[in-house]
Every structure is written in C-alpha cells, then in structure tokens.
C-alpha cells in the first residue's frame, strides 16, 4: 500500500491550477479534435484551453492551428465552436492567409501602419500534428517531439484504428464540477467499473479472481490477432516501482473482454474488427478513447476551466459504413445518449469526490493495483515542482 502522491490542494487550489496551465497544458501536446471534423476547405473548430482560445482551420486541405485572436485588437477570428468560414476577423474585417499571415486590411490608410509595423502582423501559430484522425496541438514556443509524450505503440494504435473511423461523429461538451485530474484518474482506475457501472456496462466485463478485469484474447480481432497490423504492440505495463517515471508511461492502452451482443446496426458496418473485446486507451494529460467490439468508438476529453470545474468533451462514432449506406444521425444520437448515461454514473461520483476534497486534510491510502495513479501523481509533482518521489 502507498499514500497517494498528491494532496487535496492539488485538486482545489488556484496556485496548482496555474502551475498546470504553464507546465502541463502549456508544454504538452493536446488533443483538439478529429480530422473528420475538418474535412472541407475553410472548415474550422475552436477550443478553449483554460482561457487560451485556439482555432484549428482547414485552408486548401491543410490544417493550421492558431491562437484564436486577431492581430489587430484580439477579437476571435472564428466565434463558433465549429463551422465553415474563411479567416476574416468579424470586428474590422482584417483577413488572414492559411498560414496566418495577414492577407488584407480594409481601408488600410486609416491605420497608417509603417512597413515594419505591417511585417509583424499575423496570427500566432501553434504546432499541429496529426496521428491518423487525431489532431494534436502544442502551445509551447519549443514543442517537444510527440514521441516524447506517447510511445510508438500508442501512436500506432491510434493510427491503425483511425482507418476504421466513420467520418460521421456526434459531439457535445458540457461543464462538470470537479477537477480534471479526477476524471483522468477515473478512466485509469479500472476497479471502479464493477461498482459504479454495475447497472450499465459492468456486467459485460469478466472479472478474474481476485477482482482483476479479464483481458480479451487476441483471437477474434484481425487487428491484434496473428498477422494483424497491431499483432506486435505491447499492452501497457507499469514500470518497476522506484524507477524514474517517464511521460510516456502515463498514456496506456489495453483490451478487456466485453460480452458480445448482436446489435441492429451491425449489418451497416463495413466490418466489426474486434468481436471479443473493448479497447481502452488513456492519453495523458486528458483524453480517454476506446472502442467496443470494433463497432463503436467513444472519445472523451477533460479540459480544466478552474480548480473545481472541467469542460467535458465527448465524441461518439461508429466504424465505417458499407459503401452506399447514408449517414445515420439517429444511430449516433442513440449511441451517444447511451454513452451519456454511462458518463453520468462517473460524473455524479466525481462531483461528490470533489466536494469532499475541498475540506479534506489528506487523501487516504492506495493499494498495489493503483500503481498507475501513483505514476501519474509522481510525474505531475516532478513536472510542476521539480520534486522527485521514490
């Protein structure tokens, strides 16, 4: 057993929140959305990372990320969550090229800028990288390599699974009243499933003595099975205790047995590539992604708003449809509705957990199976304070 690494104040106090903004969200690669959301020229999405407005825009088929702030007075260039529109500021009409350079200023004479002033006018660009359908941005002036954050096997899983994504997704976001870290810890904490989700998907899992969740056999999936593109990926394991924690150790994936039920939309899918299991993949700092039976994908992101508030983003989509099958919005709504009721089971629990943390003198105790949570805490403390715990 071990004491939890983090004190309650890490989940409640503004000074920790500000340190996180600088040392985690200011330095790490952050998921922003799916390429399937930005397939059309001039399509865009906007996001907010703790007060930093971010714009991802498709210009002539290329994706670019910017601080969503006009070089003139800082007005957001795009004001909707998503849409299709060129990069022209709605305030005074300044327009920008795909790479963020200033394209034009209406009535330029009224500004009377000299050449040197004009030369510096552009949108602030952020690094952007895609892995399969996943779009990541990095707001650091000197971004680390993506491979410093995610192991090659994790990136490979994202890339290979992306080939199976349908381009139609249901997406929503809402606010919850707890610290973002509780949600990331919760998706790593498999032991809660049996108790919190006992009336939803908990009974679909299989539990081994003394309580571990059974993993899914590699047979029954042409991705992970013999000869499949993911045959040789290594499912995540904890590094031996005491070893220095590496950032890449914090993102994990695995496959769990999940009882198969024949579902009415199966005949519409091109293939269901994993009949025995569900895949879960947690991507540090704040994404949870998974796939059930190779039929249905869920994607969640936990974006901090304040120490006690999180903006919860949720996507739901299926595997690709057979050629000729039209979009199925009613299917996506039904699946997402089901997903939301499962998420609610966690959200109510985490709300209550956070309420206790505001006044908690400490956080109890952890057992051996909670090693991954301790890894996350150890890396967090080192990153934010330089403090190393054994």
- Site residues (vs ligand FES, CB under 6 A): 70, 72-73, 75, 89, 91-94
- Under the criterion CB under 5 A, does residue 339 sit at the interface with Fe ion? no
- Of 68 and 183, the one with the shorter C-beta distance to ligand FES is 68
Rounded CA separation 385/10 (Å) = 12
CB under 5 to 8 A by kind: which of Fe ion, ligand FES, none does 92 bind?
ligand FES
**SS3 labels along the chain:** CECCCCCCHHHHCHHHHHHHHHHHHCCCCEEEEEHHHHCCCCEEEEEEECCEEEEEEEECCEEEEEECCCCCCCCCCCCCCEEECCCECCCCCCEECCCCEEEECCCHHHCCCCHHHHHCCECCEEEEEEECCEEEEECCCCCCCHHHCCCHHHHHHHHHHHCCEEEEEEEEEEEECCCHHHHHHHHHCHHHHHHHCCCCCHHHCCEECCCEECECCCCCECCCCCCCCCCCCCCCCCCCCCCCCCHHHHCEEEEEECCCCCCCCHHHECCCCECCEEEEEEECCCEEEEEECCCEEEEEEEEEEECCEEEEEEEEEEECECCCCCCCHHHHHHHHHHHHHHHHHHHHHHHHHHHHHCCCCCCCCECHHHHHHHHHHHHHHHHHHCCCCC
Closer of 108 and 329 to ligand FES (Cβ)? 108
Question: For Fe ion, which is the closer residue by CB, 94 or 312?
Answer: 312
Binding-site partner at residue 346 among ligand FES, Fe ion, none, CB < 5 to 8 Å by type:
Fe ion
Query: How many residues sit in the footprint of Fe ion (CB under 5 A)?
Result: 1
Q: Which is nearer to Fe ion, 269 or 335 (CB)?
A: 335
* CB of 127 or CB of 349, closer to Fe ion: 349
- State the nearest-atom distance from the C-beta of 345 to Fe ion, in Å: 6
The whole-angstrom distance between residue 360's C-alpha and the CA centroid of its chain comes to: 29
346 near Fe ion, rule: CB under 5 A: yes
173 binds, among ligand FES, Fe ion, none (CB under 5 to 8 A by kind): none
Least spacing, CB of residue 96 vs ligand FES, in Å? 10
Closest to ligand FES by CB, 73 or 118: 73
Site for Fe ion in 146-205 (CB under 5 A): none
- For the CB of residue 293, give the shortest distance to Fe ion in the complex, in Å: 18
Least Å distance between CB 282 and Fe ion? 12
Candidate ranges 124-132, 210-218, 221-229, 338-346; the one touching Fe ion (CB under 5 A): 338-346
Q: Which is nearer to ligand FES, 104 or 217 (CB)?
A: 104
Which is nearer to ligand FES, 113 or 333 (by Cβ)?
113
Smallest gap from Cβ 127 to ligand FES, in A, equals 24
Q: Which does 131 bind (CB under 5 to 8 A by kind): Fe ion, ligand FES, none?
A: none
Q: What is the β-pairing status of strands 125-131 and 62-67?
A: antiparallel
Rounded to a whole number of angstroms, the minimum distance from the CB of residue 189 to ligand FES is 45
User: Smallest distance from the beta carbon of 124 to ligand FES, in angstroms?
Assistant: 13
- Give least dist CB 110 to ligand FES, A: 12
Interface ranges with Fe ion (CB under 5 A): 346
């Amino acid at each position: 057993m071990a004491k939890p690494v983090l004190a309650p104040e890490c989940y409640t106090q503004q000074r920790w929140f500000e340190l996180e903004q600088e040392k985690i969200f200011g330095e790490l690669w952050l998921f922003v959305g799916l390429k399937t959301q930005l397939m059309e020229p001039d399509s865009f999405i906007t996001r907010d990372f703790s007060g930093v407005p971010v714009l991802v825009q498709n210009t002539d088929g290329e994706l670019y990320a910017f601080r969503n702030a006009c070089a003139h007075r800082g007005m957001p260039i795009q004001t909707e969550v998503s849409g299709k529109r060129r990069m022209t500021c709605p305030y005074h009409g300044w327009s920008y090229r795909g790479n963020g350079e200033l394209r034009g200023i209406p009535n330029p004479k009224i500004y009377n800028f000299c050449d040197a002033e004009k030369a510096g006018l552009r949108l602030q660009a952020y690094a952007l990288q895609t892995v399969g359908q996943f779009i990541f941005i990095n707001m650091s002036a000197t971004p680390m390599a993506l491979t410093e954050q995610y192991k090659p096997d994790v990136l490979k899983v994202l890339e290979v699974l992306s080939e199976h994504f349908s381009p139609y997704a249901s997406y929503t976001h809402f606010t919850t009243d707890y610290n973002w870290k509780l949600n990331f810890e919760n998706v790593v904490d498999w032991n809660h499933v049996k108790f919190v989700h006992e009336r939803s998907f908990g009974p679909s899992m299989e539990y081994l003595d003394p309580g571990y969740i059974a993993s899914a056999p590699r047979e029954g999936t042409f991705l992970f099975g013999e000869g499949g593109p993911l045959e040789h990926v290594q499912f995540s394991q904890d590094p031996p205790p005491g070893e220095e924690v590496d950032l890449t150790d914090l993102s994990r994936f695995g496959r769990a047995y999940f009882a198969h039920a024949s579902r009415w939309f199966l005949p519409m899918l091109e293939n269901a590539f994993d009949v025995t299991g569900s895949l879960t993949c947690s991507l540090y700092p704040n994404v949870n992604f998974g796939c059930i039976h190779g039929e249905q994908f869920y994607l969640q992101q936990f974006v901090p708003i304040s120490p006690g508030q999180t903006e919860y983003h949720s996507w739901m989509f299926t595997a690709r449809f057979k050629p000729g099958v039209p979009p199925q919005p009613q299917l996506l709504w039904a699946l997402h509705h089901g997903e939301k009721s499962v998420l609610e089971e966690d959200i109510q629990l985490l709300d209550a957990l956070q309420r206790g943390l505001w006044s908690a003198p400490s956080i109890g105790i952890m057992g051996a199976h909670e090693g991954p949570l301790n890894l996350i805490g150890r890396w967090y403390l080192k990153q934010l304070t330089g403090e190393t715990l054994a």
